[in-house]
Amino acid sequence: MVSAHADAQQDHRETPPPPLMMMMMMEMQYNNNNNGYGLNEYMIQEDDWDRDLLLDPAWEKQQRKTFTAWCNSHLRKAGTQIENIEEDLRNGLKLMLLLEVISGERLPRPDRGKMRFHKIANVNKALDYITSKGVKLVSIGAEEIVDGNVKMTLGMIWTIILRFAIQDISVEETSAKEGLLLWCQRKTAPYRNVNVQNFHCSWKDGLAFCALIHRHRPDLIDYAKLNKDDHLGNLSLALEIAEKHLDIPKMLDPEDIINTPKPDERATMTYVSCFYHAFAGAEQAETAANRICKVLGVNQENEKLMEEYERLASELLEWIRRTTPWLEKRTPENTVEAMRHKLEDFRDYRRIHKPPKVQEKCQLEISFNTLQTKLHISHRPAFMPSEGKMVSKGYEEWLLTEIRRLERVEHLAEKFQQKAATHESWAQGKDQLLTLKDYESASLTELRVLLRKHEAFESDLAAHQDRVEQLAAIAQELNELDYHAAAVINERCQSICDHWDQLGTLTQKRREALERTEKLLETIDQLFLEFAKRSAPFNNWMEGAMEDLQDMFMVHSVDEVQSLISAHDQFKATLAEADSERQAILSIYNEVQKIAQSYGISSKLTNIYCDITPAIINQKWEKVKKSVPQRDGGLHEELSRQHANERLRRQFAAQANAIGPWIQTRMEEIARCSVDLAGTLEDQMNHLKQYEHNIINYKPNIDRLEGDHQLIQESLIFDNKHTNYTMEHMRVGWESLLTTVARTINEMETQILTRDAKGISQQQLNDFRSSFTHFDRKKKGGMETDDFRACLISMGYDLGEAEFARIMSLVDPDGAGVVTFQSFVDFMTRETGDTETSEQVIASFRILAADKPYILVDELRRELPPEQAEYCISRMPPYQGPDGVPGALDYTAFSTVLYGESDL
């Protein structure tokens, strides 16, 4: 660090920068926290200058003369002066004396030695004092001043002039430079041939200086006799009169000003500021005019804000009125595809149409808060807008629920139709068979065969009982799910049940008939009977297996499909046992064939007990075996689809689990920033705007998450065990983050408005915030009644019940039991600050009216800017007093109306 500083010193000695460039570097570092001269504005003004002139030695000459004269104007009060600005300040003694004279404060005792280190110590004491006044000195060290570096010395003096001579000049809350320029423009406005636009070329002809003198001391100059073409004469006259009669030393050289293409702005500003301070005691009328202009400007701005709020609110309410019926329409469609179209329309609404309206609503709230704050701090009546309406929510959840219901309904309906068709196919013609009278003409053997055959049918009938019950259960569930074709399903189910009951009745009747003839039956072919009894359940098992193998499945996770695969694997494990049963059944039929061959019975024997043949069993068995791999393929295909869905879940969850905490962290950072006492409100505002910038730049992550969410919904994925965040959580969190940072910025702007309007310092506001934060024990943004009482007691208030009740009525007019920060600041500023009232405005008008109880149009137009004058003339009622004159206006009634204290 020492080496770098030494190198920097060497660079300054070898190639020193121009003095104005160095001054601008210092100005960029100068930071005024008390409404002083804003150097950013200064730099913006200089950006349009001819850069080649920055090296003009004439400017350095003007600065030497002006700054030397300015220093002497103060040093003479201590009985001393300087001749050479860079030489006479080198030992630091006169520099310290100059600071003591202009500040009225004592600096540390100087070192009286003559060594170099004594001089450096004294200059450092002066620089430390300048720094303690909020001025940042960059690249200016005591060594350069002690070495007589003229550029560094001029830069340092200009910084002192800014801080102690120009900083406090402010007109209508402008910066120091703008305030000084506005003061000059107002004072010289009535004078011909004077047009003050800057602090360089506007002063070259001398008329502006003469006009300033004549405006305040018309006895010193006869402005009407001046010649606008006599630049040298005008400048010389003004500088001489100022020195002789106004005690303003001659800081400028007329010849240098005339011969310089563009006079030095700092020199001119320094000299003009002396006129401002010389005439400051005669500014009572102008101060009154400024106060009135400020009050009128507030009213005009508030009226514009009210009109803009009503317009924006009307547009937003009209959009809500058009959109609400569509969102509240919950008419379900009959198909999944139709409901998906509705969901896509809703996605377009959420992505495209709603976000701008959310921003408009947030902006509307911000405008309302800003307007109410401005009305409150200016003691105007509160603004009461018309009430809005809230947009219904839950439409997306209803759409997704309806799609799930329709999927389930369609699956059950198709399953019902399939099972019903199978059952109806089996039951078709059974009632005709049961009503045959074949037993009446049958032989005893045939009757016994018929009896056994009927027993086999009853076995089959019992096996179909579960199927009928399943059909009834499916129909019942479709009714409960509000299936649109439930009537058709119910009719078909009822038909099946009625037919089933009829079959049961017919079966019972036929059994009774066969049993009546059972004594006629003596023999039966046991093998065929056994075949029938075993083949029928086996055939039923194969049909059931085929139904299961061909049954559709609907799953939503890898675990569910793996469960189906496991069940299918268990089924496949039973195939060997089933094949053994098939072989056993076929062996019965083979035994019949052997007996027939052995005893010469016809080989074309027909099993009279059942219609099932070995060919049918083998055919169905082959179908079962063929369906097994097909089922395998379908399940594994579904497994792949569910794995893909799982990847989508994990992809969404990974982003959501990152975005959710990110949003929460930003919310916490914004909350901390809003209560951080370190730095100024402007610093916190900058931090908040940086947060806002980062949040806006984060928007692509939300968009990617929306894309993943859309893929999930298109894949009909309804749950995600990998994250607790849903897309709606993300949307609400994101919208809340945008709204929170915007509202927090608005609250910070409100605090700045309050601070500036109330005239409280940054330290006072920090103290208020520190007290509020300490007693906001629940950290919810508001002190409860007991906490507020404790806060007041800690600040020295002697509170009785009546006094505390009065204070609570001020800070909590709605009786909510909570004191907000804004209410607390308003109360404290009323207790500690000086605010403008209607009485102050009336007193200001009385000054302009020369103590008359009324004011005339000409007086308003003479003392106020045109816009404010016409505003008063158009709204001020005629004066009704007995001492009035024609055209007299009542400023007392007008001022009362401004603060909402009259119904005029």
pLDDT in tens, 223-250: 999 998 999 999 999 999 999 998 899 8
Are 885 and 873 part of one and the same domain?
Answer: yes
- Specify the pLDDT at position 677: 59
Three-class SS state of 661: helix
CATH code of the domain covering residue 853: 1.10.238.10
Report how far residue 297's alpha carbon sits from residue 309's, in angstroms, rounded to the nearest whole number. Answer: 18
4 pLDDT higher than 60: no
Domain boundary among 252, 274, 295: 295
Q: In whole numbers, what is the pLDDT of the chain averaged over residues?
A: 78
**Nearest to 163, CA basis, from 137, 194, 142:** 137
Tell me if 549 is assigned to some domain. yes
* 72/393: higher pLDDT: 72
Instruction: Quote the pLDDT of residue 839.
Output: 81
CATH of the domain at 200: 1.10.418.10
Average pLDDT over residues 86-110: 89
Do 674 and 774 lie in a common domain? no
For residue 461, pLDDT over 90 is answered with no
Across 94-200, the runs of DSSP E, i.e. the strands, are: none
CA-derived radius of gyration, the chain: 49
**Total number of domains constituting the chain:** 5
**β partners of residue 818:** 784
Average pLDDT over residues 395-419: 72
Which pLDDT band, with edges at 50, 70 and 90, does 346 fall under?
low
576-593 per-position pLDDT tens digit: 888 888 889 888 878 877
Per-residue pLDDT for 293 more than 90? Answer: no
And the tokens for 273? 């500021």
Q: Are residues 559 and 675 in the same domain?
A: yes
Q: Which of 728, 758, 788 is the last residue of a domain?
A: 758
Same domain, 595 and 528: yes
Same domain, 554 and 666: yes
Q: What is the pLDDT of residues 37-93, one digit of tens each?
A: 333 333 333 333 333 334 467 778 888 888 999 999 899 888 999 999 888 888 899
Q: How confident is the model at residue 398 (pLDDT cuts 50, 70, 90)?
A: low
Decide which of 386 and 655 is more confident.
Answer: 655
The number of CA neighbours under 13 Å toward the Cβ of 294 is: 20
Higher pLDDT, 577 or 482: 577
Is pLDDT above 90 for 195? Answer: yes
Look at residue 875 and tell me if it is in a domain: yes
Q: What is the CATH number of the domain that holds 308?
A: 1.20.58
Per-residue pLDDT of 425-434, as tens digits, reads 888 888 888 8
603: helix, coil or strand?
A: coil
Indicate if the pLDDT at residue 376 is higher than 70: no
pLDDT digits (tens, 9 = 90+) for 630-664: 888 888 887 888 788 888 888 888 998 999 999 99
Same domain, 192 and 287: yes
Give the pLDDT of residue 18: 35
Alpha-carbon separation of residue 817 from 789, 807, 820, 824, 826 (angstroms): 12, 12, 10, 13, 17
The answer as to whether 319 is a domain residue is yes
pLDDT above 70 covers what percent of the chain?
82
Q: Are residues 531 and 656 in the same domain?
A: yes
Residues 617 and 721 in one domain: yes
In tens, the pLDDT along 493-503 reads 888 888 888 88
Residue 159 covered by a domain: no
Segment 359-364 mean pLDDT: 76
What confidence tier does 340 reach under pLDDT thresholds 50, 70, 90? Answer: confident
Q: Which tens digits make up the pLDDT trace of 755-765? A: 777 667 777 77
Q: Residues 592, 726: one domain?
A: yes
The predicted pLDDT at position 879 comes to 94
556 and 595 co-located in one domain: yes
Residue 790: give the domain boundaries: 759-831
Residue 608 inside a domain? The answer is yes
Cα dihedral value 628, 634, 638, 640, nearest 10: 90
**DSSP per position, 484-540:** TTHHHHHHHHHHHHHHHHHHHHHHHHHHHHHHHTGGG-----HHHHHHHHHHHHHHH
Residue 236 lies in a domain: yes
Which among 738, 758, 778 is the end of a domain? 758
On whether both 544 and 676 belong to a single domain, the answer is yes
Share of the chain above pLDDT 90, in %: 14
Residue of 37 and 692 predicted with greater confidence: 692
Reported as a single tens digit per residue, the pLDDT across 10-41 is: 333 333 333 333 333 333 333 333 333 333 33
> For residue 766, is pLDDT > 90?
no
Please state the rounded mean pLDDT for residues 278-300.
72
Does residue 876 carry a pLDDT above 60?
yes
Rounded CA-CA distance 802/791 in Å is 17
Residue 622, amino acid: E
* Residue 253 domain-assigned (yes or no): yes
Nearest to 563 by CA among 645, 651, 625, 642: 642
pLDDT at 455: 83
Residue 465 lies inside a defined structural domain of this protein: no
pLDDT at 172: 57
Band (458; pLDDT cuts 50, 70, 90)? confident
**583 and 695 share a domain?**
yes
Average pLDDT in the 550-573 region?
Answer: 78
